[in-house]
Structure 1
């Protein structure tokens, strides 16, 4: 299970880092850490449709305690854990081999069938303009439209795809392992979005080929906008990158 691997590796990488700030909120949960090299901000999209009644059992929040919740069955705990893991990852990440491009630029014209997991209008619009055969899956009924398929069909259809672009929220909801396994025939299996800030090397061995996420460069301004609940409020304070999982 990927989240258990994240937990194991992030606990090692967190040594020497200090938890500075955190917030479970909408639309993103965030964790801020600090070490000798400076500060790093990690985020994870909050999935309100999956939140259940929750009673916090952590008396003294710490980076380690958050990370240990990565494989919790509770969505609140998993979201905080992934934001913490992303913060640790962003502190250590080396982007010297990254491409500063959008995820859709990876797709060559010889690809025919593409699955988009999570109805992401900007990505869908860009792909439609290139005449790919698209299959758009979404779990949240509020985000469905006439061309959206239920995520229950992913298990059936993903083996037929040439490429898969999945919202990195599949890490939070625990479906990333299934997606990677069912998409093993695809040339490209890419996770996209701010939630995918984890170190690329943590994804090795499960079938993910690329990560497209963002590095927050103006932390103070980004946190201010996150606290104000802006859905895309910290995009101007960040740089998008796409990197291969080597």
Structure 2
């Protein structure tokens, strides 16, 4: 399981890092950490449709306690754990000028073939269709379906035929990332995207993921206020977009 490997790698680099604050919230859960190099904020999409009965198994609030639950079958624990992993990732992430303020669509070739969107991302889907590309949109949450959306149950059958995959980072939270990587093994481009995809690219080395397109929080006060107020895009005023290649 990839999450177990990511957990092990993250635990090896958390010395000197402490949890300052955290929140399990809508639309994003978040963890704020601090080390000698300053503070960083990690987020993870909260999926209320996935939540069942929750019994808190965290005894002490610490970065280690959170990260240990990254491969938990409890989605609440897994969400907070991913936010913590993302906070650690952002602490160590270094971006070049060329990687900042880029759009995921810039990665596509002129003739990308069949494109799969994992998670209904209407702005991206509209732009891809506007360009005349063949797009397949998969979504687990029925509330986000439209007439052009496939159930995520069809990912298993259709992904082997895809040439490009653009996957929302929420696939890490809902536990489908391993299946996606296994079934999409024929793709030439696999982009993990969205605020939830703040992982260090080194964590995805030796997988078929080629790029991460995410957001780095540069104004923690502004971003944290937006998160606490529950605004879907409120925290983005304190962030910058980036695209980074997986080594």
* Aligned partners of 1:181 and 1:206 also within 8 Å: no
Matches within 5 A, 1:11-160: 11-96=11-96, 98-160=99-161
Q: After the TM superposition, which segments of 4 or more aligned residues of structure 1 sit over 3 Å from their partners?
A: none
> Shift of residue 59 of structure 1?
2.8
3-state secondary structure, aligned to 1:234: helix
Distance 1:31 1:182 in 2: 32
Q: CA deviation at 1:100?
A: 2.8
d(CA) in 2 for partners of 1:161, 1:24: 35
Provide the C-alpha distance between the structure 1 equivalents of 2:114 and 2:58, rounded to a whole number of angstroms: 45
Q: Is the 8 A contact 2:2 2:178 kept in 1?
A: yes
| SS of the residue 1:87 aligns to | helix
The alignment covers a number of residue pairs equal to 246
Partner of 2:220: 219
Paired with 1:3 and 1:59, the residues of 2 have a C-alpha distance of: 22
1:2-46 Cα offsets, whole Å, 9 max, x none, are 110111011111111111000001000000011111110000000
SS at match of 2:187: coil
SS at match of 1:73: coil
Q: How far is the alpha carbon of 1:98 from its aligned partner?
A: 2.5
- The CA deviation at 1:99 is 4.7
Q: Matched residue of 2:196: which SS? A: helix
- Distance (whole Å) between structure 2 residues aligned to residue 73 and residue 19 of structure 1: 23
Residue 20 of structure 1 aligns to a residue whose secondary structure is strand
Question: Aligned pair in 2 of structure 1 residues 99, 222: CA closer, same or farther (>3 Å)?
Answer: closer
Structure 2's unaligned 5+ residue stretches are: none
Are the equivalent residues in 2 in contact too, given 1:177–1:206 (CA < 8 A)? no
Distance 1:136 1:242 in 2: 22
CA contact (8 A) 2:19 2:62 kept: yes
The TM-score with structure 2 as length reference comes to: 0.97
SS in structure 2 of the partner of residue 159 of structure 1: helix
TM-score w.r.t. the length of structure 1 is 0.98
Q: Give secondary structure in 1 for the equivalent of 2:76.
A: helix
